[in-house]
Structure 1
Amino acid sequence: MHFFYLAENNGSLSSSVSKQMSQQTNIITHYFTNIDWDSVISKIVTTFLSIILISSVFFIINWIGKKLISRSFKRPKKSDHLSANRLQTIYTLSLNIFHYSILFFYFYAILSILGIPVGTLIAGAGIVSVALGLGAQGFVTDVVTGFFILLEQQFDVGDEVKIGSISGTIHAIGLRTTQIIDYDGTLHFIPNRNITIVSNLSRNDMRALVDVYFDPNEDIQGMSALIKQVNQQMAPNYPEITQGPTLLGTIDNGHGSLALRVIIYTKNGAQYTVQRDFLAAYLEKLTQAGYKIANSPLNLTTSS
């Protein structure tokens, strides 16, 4: 009797579970049956085609825009009031600004097609930006400093500079960072907020001082004549020389050290080659004439 009661209860439980499963299945079937699949497929196809169309339009705009920017900067290449480095700097920044502007409007159009409320996102981004304001102070400082670097034309792409303990050639200038290629090939990324003192070595001609040390008992007039002779022979072969070479005469560097000083102004970057060649020619000429030459230190500085 007890066994029959348990069997009856199990049977009623199974029947209840079956009814619940049947009801849930009917609900799901009813839900999918009431979906307008034609409308859904049409919406998906329309959205997909709209995205392809918008992407194609923005691709063409991006291609045409870059071509126009490139062509516009090719025309004033021979301009006298704008250096080639300055033009390259402005050209790079123009491409970057155009590229990011295209990306912004492209994603704005894509989100609008997908039905995402862009205005709400922008308002939310404003709230988030306020929340992140304290943490973004360094970024804002970088952008502001980079803007004034560009506005004041402190340096351009291709200039040789010294910023703090880093020396090299400007590789790229951005609103947030400046890239410098060191003389050993290292690429440095410097946040603009860390740029406080800039030594630009490319804005003026460079000055090479060559001091030829000699014994006080030597014939100074004879040595001077030979140095002038070397200057006359070699100067026409160096178009990089902008002024000189000029023999300044005898100088006293202290401790009884006398030297004949020659000053040569050259275009930036050519001073080292010119200095080495002229020094070698001086030493060879004076040695052949029998003069005793002491150590000859060099002093390369920028012109003031």
Structure 2
Amino acid sequence: MNQTLDQMKQWLLTHGLAILAILVLCVAAYFLLGLLVRFVTRRVKSLDAKDDTLLDRRADTISDVLYSAGLVVIFVTALVMVLEEIGVPIAPLLASVGVVGLALGLGAQTLVKDVISGLFILLENQYMITDVIEVNGIVGNVEMMTLRATTLRDAAGTLYIVPNGEIRIVANRTRDWSRAIIDVGIAYEADVDRALAALQSIGEEMVADAEIGPLLLEAPQVTGVEGLEEWAVRLRMMVKTKPNQQWDVQRYLRRRIRLEFADQGIDLAFPRQEVALVNMPAGEKNGDS
């Protein structure tokens, strides 16, 4: 019994202290990683750019990826050091990994593919945190990005985690600038020229508006008659906006168009059906000849 206690004390004094030192180093590395991420973030944000908001989002994206990659490096390094300290031979373990790797090849290939794709997404600056993108039929706001996966949240609040290796085509709806497009259907009986003039007037008011004006990059354009539908004459209005602001501009436009058209007596189109009643000859009623 005493011999066992002595062995435990000896093990704690040697290997136990070494493991404790490894854990302390891990904690120190964790804090150093945080300092490094903050330093890189500040450096990126301090660069000269035309759009400071865009630079801030770029810095946040880089910091997220750098932080997640750093945590993986710290964890793997600490695990290897602890295994060596408790007597687990690393060399045979690594050799066995080569044998087992054949069986795990498919899974490893998928992971490597995700990481490589994540690196290219980051280096090519395909999208950033807070961008609204469409990937694999999913439209959502980029909440988080790591080397392995991208996290999206759609308008309904559903959270999607998309492996970077599965991303083939990215549609970025908020990069550099956006465009608000409004189609207005008016009745065939309405005066088209009058409706177009009303849209042009609304566009001029938008530019001068203290709330909406700063969101615009160009003056609104009324393109004219875009289509003749079954029950409506379709007019179109477009305006170039700052990134991610097109939806606010569209909501403003819909409200102003509804109020302005109502004031001017311009009828908006809605589905309708005309029924013609034809008087039948008396002799043909009820199928009589």
Q: Does the 8 Å contact 1:249/1:260 carry over to 2?
A: yes
Alignment-derived partner of residue 276 in structure 1: 251
Of 128, 149, 166, which residue of structure 2 is paired with 1:194?
166
Q: Among all aligned residue pairs of Structure 1 and Structure 2, give the percentage whose two residues are the same amino acid.
A: 26
Of 172, 190, 208, which residue of structure 1 is paired with 2:181?
208
Gaps of 5+ in 2: 272-289
Alignment-derived partner of residue 14 in structure 1: none
Cα shift readout 1:105-140 (whole Å, capped 9, x = no counterpart): 222322333233222322222222234224544333
Alignment-derived partner of residue 99 in structure 1: 71
Cα shift readout 1:128-171 (whole Å, capped 9, x = no counterpart): 22342245443333333333333333222221111222211122
Q: Does the 8 Å contact 1:244/1:263 carry over to 2?
A: no
Q: Does the 8 Å contact 1:163/1:197 carry over to 2?
A: yes
* Alpha-carbon separation, structure 2, partners of 1:215 and 1:291: 11
* Alpha-carbon separation, structure 2, partners of 1:62 and 1:168: 31
Of 111, 115, 119, which residue of structure 2 is paired with 1:143?
115
Q: Does the 8 Å contact 1:214/1:259 carry over to 2?
A: no
* Aligned: 1:266 with 2:238: no
* Alpha-carbon separation, structure 2, partners of 1:178 and 1:110: 32
Cα shift readout 1:81-122 (whole Å, capped 9, x = no counterpart): 763332222111111121111122222322333233222322
Q: Does the 8 Å contact 1:181/1:188 carry over to 2?
A: yes
Q: Kindly tell me: are residues 134 and 226 of structure 1, through their superposed partners in 2, closer, same or farther at Cα, counting changes over 3 Å? A: closer
Of 110, 125, 136, which residue of structure 2 is paired with 1:164?
136
Q: Kindly tell me: are residues 264 and 212 of structure 1, through their superposed partners in 2, closer, same or farther at Cα, counting changes over 3 Å? A: farther
Q: Kindly tell me: are residues 255 and 44 of structure 1, through their superposed partners in 2, closer, same or farther at Cα, counting changes over 3 Å? A: closer
Q: Kindly tell me: are residues 137 and 43 of structure 1, through their superposed partners in 2, closer, same or farther at Cα, counting changes over 3 Å? A: closer
* Alpha-carbon separation, structure 1, partners of 2:141 and 2:269: 35
Of 87, 91, 96, which residue of structure 2 is paired with 1:124?
96
> What is the DSSP-based 3-state SS (H/G/I as helix, E as strand, rest coil) of the residue aligned with 1:149?
helix
Gaps of 5+ in 1: 1-31, 297-304
* Aligned: 1:173 with 2:145: yes
* Alpha-carbon separation, structure 2, partners of 1:278 and 1:135: 50
* Aligned: 1:68 with 2:28: no
Alignment-derived partner of residue 46 in structure 1: 14
Kindly report which structure 2 residues correspond to 1:19-58, keeping only aligned pairs within 5 A, or say none: 41-58=9-26
Q: Kindly tell me: are residues 245 and 119 of structure 1, through their superposed partners in 2, closer, same or farther at Cα, counting changes over 3 Å? A: same
Alignment-derived partner of residue 294 in structure 1: 269
* Alpha-carbon separation, structure 2, partners of 1:135 and 1:272: 41
Higher-Rg structure is 1
Question: How many residue pairs get matched?
Answer: 263
> What is the DSSP-based 3-state SS (H/G/I as helix, E as strand, rest coil) of the residue aligned with 1:242?
coil
Q: Does the 8 Å contact 2:68/2:146 carry over to 1?
A: no
> What is the DSSP-based 3-state SS (H/G/I as helix, E as strand, rest coil) of the residue aligned with 2:144?
strand
Q: Does the 8 Å contact 1:160/1:167 carry over to 2?
A: yes
Structure 1 stretch displaced more, 84-93 or 264-273: 264-273
Q: Kindly tell me: are residues 278 and 217 of structure 1, through their superposed partners in 2, closer, same or farther at Cα, counting changes over 3 Å? A: closer
Q: Kindly tell me: are residues 163 and 126 of structure 1, through their superposed partners in 2, closer, same or farther at Cα, counting changes over 3 Å? A: same
* Alpha-carbon separation, structure 2, partners of 1:184 and 1:219: 37
Shift of 1:208: 1.3
* Alpha-carbon separation, structure 2, partners of 1:219 and 1:163: 39
Q: How high is the TM-score relative to the length of structure 2?
A: 0.76
Q: Does the 8 Å contact 1:210/1:279 carry over to 2?
A: no
Shift of 1:184: 0.9
Cα shift readout 1:213-253 (whole Å, capped 9, x = no counterpart): 25466372x54444333333332221111112123344553
Q: Kindly tell me: are residues 248 and 133 of structure 1, through their superposed partners in 2, closer, same or farther at Cα, counting changes over 3 Å? A: closer
Cα shift readout 1:191-227 (whole Å, capped 9, x = no counterpart): 333322222111141231343525466372x544443
Q: Kindly tell me: are residues 259 and 38 of structure 1, through their superposed partners in 2, closer, same or farther at Cα, counting changes over 3 Å? A: closer
* Alpha-carbon separation, structure 2, partners of 1:257 and 1:288: 20
* Alpha-carbon separation, structure 1, partners of 2:46 and 2:270: 46
Alignment-derived partner of residue 12 in structure 1: none
Shift of 1:290: 3.3
Shift of 1:282: 2.8
Alignment-derived partner of residue 45 in structure 2: 77
